[in-house]
Structure 1
Amino acid sequence: MQDVDKKLEYFIKIKEDISPRREAKRIILIYLLLGGLWIVLSDRVAAYLFTDVETLAAFSTWKGWFYVIVTGYIFYRIIRRSLKLYQNAVETIFDNYKGLGFAHKELIRTEQQLQKKYQELDESIRASKINEMRLDLAVAGAKDGIWEWDIQKDEYRVSERWILDCGYDTEDLPSSWTQWLRLIHADDANQADQEMKDFLEGREEAFQSVYRIRCRNGLYRTILSKGVCVRNENGEPARMAGSHSDITAELKLHKSLREEQELSDNIIDESPIMVLLLSPDWTILRANEHALEKTGYRKEEVEGRKAFDFVPKTYEDPLMESYKNLVTGERVRALESEIYTKDQQKLNILWNFSLLHDENEETRGIILSGTDITGRKEMESKLYERAYYDFLTGLPNRALLLDTVQEWLTQDENPMDKMALIYVDVDNFKHINEIHGHHVGDQMLKYLGLKISENVQNAGISARLGGDEFAIALKGADEAMVQYVLDCLLEDLQTPWIYEENAFYIQISAGVVMYPKDGTDVESLFRRMDLAAFEAKEKGKNRTEFYHSDMEQKSHRFVQMENWIRSAISNQEFAVHYQPQVNMKTGEIIKMEALIRWDRPNHGIISPVVFIPVAEQTGHMEAITTWVLREASRQKKAWEEKGIAVPTISINLSSVHLSQGIITDELIDEYKEGWREPGSLELEITEAAILYNEGQALEQLKRLKKRGITIALDDFGTGYSSLTHLQKLPIDTLKVDRSFLLHVLEDPRERSLYMGVVNLAHDLGLRVVAEGVETKEQVEFLLSNHCILGQGYYFSKVLPPEEMETLLRQGSVVVEKEMED
């Protein structure tokens, strides 16, 4: 740059020195001055020095040549200098021309670079505009507001669109941080201001603050404010920019999700069932409080362990099979298993499975919800024992004996080739009860049951059928074996039984039937066993009779009873009597059971226990049921015409009714005038009646319930009573059999069982009616255990219609009649 400046000064100097006119004038003047001086001075010098004319002439000649040489030399110097200047100028011009060409090329290259930069700038401007548009769209889509703050000038600006969303006008836009603070909720402003100060002072790496902004309508929005800072050369904050994000909806959603999660957690933890969350490999991720309480473990003792660590090995495969079926989309039933508690006790748990899926529908977890059915299983075991075993003697009862014999006859492997059934009846047992009391009779029956069991042992099964009746079934027995067993039993009974210092000699009558000689099915074998026992009784007791075909003739009583029933239906010899079901607290009559009675002319009262089984076997139950339903309907209507409020009337159904569909819609429609109100008719069934043909029975019951008829399960506890099965029955009322109530006041086990049945029925939403209530103490026990409804002689015997009418007019019965006495 300095060289260029020097050259420039040089060329300016040359320019100033080179002036043709001035230079020409200067040369002429020099020439004239030198010539004039030379002429004047040379002549005077010559005149002074030389006087001789020739010498003076020669001197003038040399003076002339000297002048020419000197002036020539001077002109040479002048011309040389001018030409030198010219040469320098030409060379400079040439050099400058060359530089000018180079500069031209540089100028072209510079112009090209400028055009390229201009294009890049133009593209950058367009990209900037696109990015700005994208930013605007992104901001609009995100519903975020952009803010900027010139800290030095305290100029605060917020994007117009965002502030308009808050309901403000453009003139309401805040122009300073202070004005922005005024829009912040009073409870949040100080914190927001302090967070900004901490950030500007460098105590925080990034600015982020959450606070509420007041909208024009007075409502508040919660925003998340973020920002960055630009500092000047001194490190002081100069400018900030950032965004405002409206997170009001997100906070509400988060709060809602948190509340739902808390509610879900509370439901799970407070749930009275066990809930386990497992990973797909059956690792326990979470166990609720009920599960921990049931098992006795702490949370850290179970979470992280395999679920199978707490389950007996025999249940692993069924559990895994259910899980695999669930994963493949199959429907999985609830599965029962045992689990170990911390103190190594076993609980029976009924598990239900469900799966957790991720967004790709992949299984990410298993939810097991389990109900502790240990108590139910124990109760079922007790009920099974009660249903299949005699309470007094501990021997199997008639139901178990029937099932066992049926199983022997139908087993596929090792089919039975021969068998014997023996009916054993105590002679004159009635006198023992009458003379010595029932407690002595009970003890005698226990003793006899023990002796029978000891003599049978593993040869077969011994059972108490009821009262003083026992039975023995011997597998693979012939007549010789039967006789041997009976001889051993009779020999034992030769020794008197001593009780309360009294000696009793027990005599028995026995009837024997042989399979397959005397029958090939359970019904015929038992019926002929009864005939053989009856024969032994008729022949003087204390003897054994083997069945023979002549005994069939004595079955004329059965035929005779069938004829009598047929005649009774034709001659309308039956009558309907009623027994109330009452609220044991108030005495109010809630329902009344319609009971058939038969007073046969010239014969007397015949118990339903005698003729109902015959009617069921001979196909007369349809006619009897039709008549009872019609008569009860007629009587109800008659009472209502007298202005008497009639409660629900309950009528008994047998297995035949349900299995053969006797109670049809047409039959109900026939008496719809009497049963027009829903709930005015209740039908009582036994569980045995349902099991007789379960599919048909359940279908019938569901159809009846649709017609507004309520269903009661009668005599619960006398047959096989499954608590689990009870859940599936479409029933409204559970009537607990009177046999349950006989010993509840003396036997703690019976009390516990009775209370368990009542509580379970209530848990299932069923009404409970206690049958056979006969004493004040029983009433007090039932009420103390939340059983409110009762039926029995304590309140009222079975009444004919006219006496029942009197009771209905009263509307209630006297509950504490013993206390009044």
Structure 2
Amino acid sequence: MVIHIKSDDKLLIKIEELEKKFAEFTKMKKGIDPKKESVKIIFIYLVMGSLWITLSDRLAAQLFEDVRTLALFSTWKGWLYVLVTGWIFYGIIFKSLVLYRDSIVIIYNNYEELSSAHEELIGIEEELSEKYDELEQSYHKLSLSDQKYKLAVDGAKDGIWEWDIKEDRYLFSEKWLKYCGYDPWQIKNTIDGWKGLLHPEDADEAERTLKEYLNSGNGGYQNIYRIRCAEGSYKTILSKGVCIWDEEGNPVRMAGSHTDITQQMMLQESLREEKEFSDNVIKESAVIIMLLSLEGEILRFNDFARGITGYADEEIKGKKVFELFPRNKQDKIKGLYREIITGENANSIEEKIITKNNKAVDVLWSFSPLHDNVGNTRGIILNGTDITERKEMERRLYHAAYYDELTQLPNRAMFNFKVEEKLSEIKGTNDQMALLYLDIDNFKHINEIYGYIVGDELLRYVASVLSHTVSSEGITARLSGDEFIVSMEGIKGVDDVIDQINEINYCLSKPWIHNGQEFYINISCGVAIYPKDGDNLGTLLKRADLAVFSAKEQGKNSYCLFAEEMEDKSKKYMEMDNMLRKAILGNEFTLHYQPQVDATNGKIKKLEALIRWNHPERGFISPEEFIPIAEQTGHIEAIGEWVVEEACRQIKSWKGKGITTPKVSINLSSTMLSRQGISEKSIETINRSIQNVDVEFEITETAILTNEKNVLKALDIMKKNGITIALDDFGTGYSSLNHLQNLPIDVLKIDSSFLMNIHKSDKEKSLYESVIQLAHSLELEVVAEGVETKEQVEFLKENKCDTLQGYYFSRPLPPDKAEVIIANGFIKI
């Protein structure tokens, strides 16, 4: 604090003058000693008098000899001495008196000045006393303020710094050093010491900011930089301060504070990143984002909203959001908007908007209230996701889930849903419903012969016929493969069902032409009627399936109504399936061998290996009973492999006994022949024990047609490896006679059904004769199956049939009995 006193400058000048004069007087006082000065004067007087008398007497004695003259000279000499000394004493006394007088005047004047100064000093003393009291109060206040400041500084993370620029002394407060983990001796108290603590990335900018401030000559200093702590980490600080410049504008001293703003900067950076992220999300997001007023006015919107709606800024800004929706939906949206503002509704909705070019876009909308500081809703943030593609995908997924991709008919899931729904409606009423289970006959052969592309086209054709033929009240669906199902609603009885089946058959009876080739389509149909055949969908489907199975057994291209005995048959089928599994694992099968003899001399040329099953509980089970089921269930492959292995083992056994063994003919099923690698595997099995020439494989026409490409490839490999091929049951398949010339076969076995009828008409005989002649023309061996009478033997011999087989010669024999006849080598004809 500075204390101001009135007229203090003049008083100080007076006091300074008085001090100077007092110093002169003091000096003069010290230089004047009265006693000394008096002795000095008397000494001078005595010296002068002595010199004067002595010198003047000697001079007079020399000059005057006359006593009178000498006396007169001495008188005048005495007066002259008095005059001279009198004048000298006058000067001395005059000077002393003047000095005394001046001293008196000065002392008097100074006394008056001192008296005046004394009075002023008394006033100053009183004023100083008042100022002292004020100073005490101010000091007390300053002490309290200093305490508060110290508490504030200590309570905050701020530190104090000071820089004496001229002396290059830079000081940190003890608190700040401690805060940064330093001891005072660790810090160099110069500006270079401060620079050494700066982060390398911040140093240049921090120094530039300081330099610019020092050059500015005024204002406050503020700088942000990172400073290194003792453990090596950095704190971001805000440095503030002020500078004092001299009269020439040179900076003299700076002081200020350091505030740790590391957390604030991290928060600020986090907020900046979050804002940048939010801005980028809003800008780049493929979502409609709009800020709406409470009245629904569009205030702001993002680029995606512009792109979707097609509106420019000036066209959409200020527009009510409700105007984007279809007219018939706007009232609904307004009501929903009011509920959102009041907090009654926060659900998302799916609703179309109409773009500028009048295109409808499916959008999933969500509304988020925007609140002010006190929680009042001040606007709505509207988010919209373009779900047009999703809706299209949902439609596709729905179609894929409930419709068949190939035929576009409803699939099993959709059929089940619709029929279940209808059954619930008519439950408890007298209404009836029929399910027609449809299966295309021989479709597998079409696929294998002509390829799946043709098969798919045929399925589309059948689906189209069914869709146009079946009543619109019913449902037509594709279950799988070549299986279709039709529901007939509101039928009055079985006659309505039969009429519908006949209409379907009629429409499909016309040939389907594809690439110039005609295809005749036959369908087997099984029927189950609600509620007679079942009161739920599962039962009806199961029984319709059983019915179609029975229809196929009846000869295909027919229909069959469900009957109770079908379930018994189905149970037997399942039982047979289980029995076959156990038979394969339990080695319950055996092979019997039936000889094939030379028609000219009865020599045994070959043996046909025929499978037999002696069940431990049921006894003998005919192949006609279990082979079809084995083919349907897939067990035929395992059985076929066992037959090949067992036949080879038996041949090896007979040869080991030295018995001349004829070629053994083994039947291969269509399933085995269709499998990739069957020829190689069969050859490998044969070669493990015998030679390829010891075996002949029999196949049927149906087996070839099942998968002609794979079958023919397998047959070619077998034939090239020395295995002969026989075409079994010729005449029961679907091939023309001309087809024979393209088959890699060596033997033609005519089905026994032809031989059974030769005695009935000449026509049958001629047909049989023609087949033998045709086979011979193709250089094929002919085997007649089912020979049972002498008459048949004679007929076959007359027509030069090569080989005969049948019960006339021998039934199929077990290995031990077959061994006896092959040891003989001949059978009497």
TM category (shorter chain) comes to 0.3 to 0.5
Which protein is bigger by CA-based radius of gyration? 2
Give the TM-score normalised by the residue count of structure 2.
Answer: 0.43
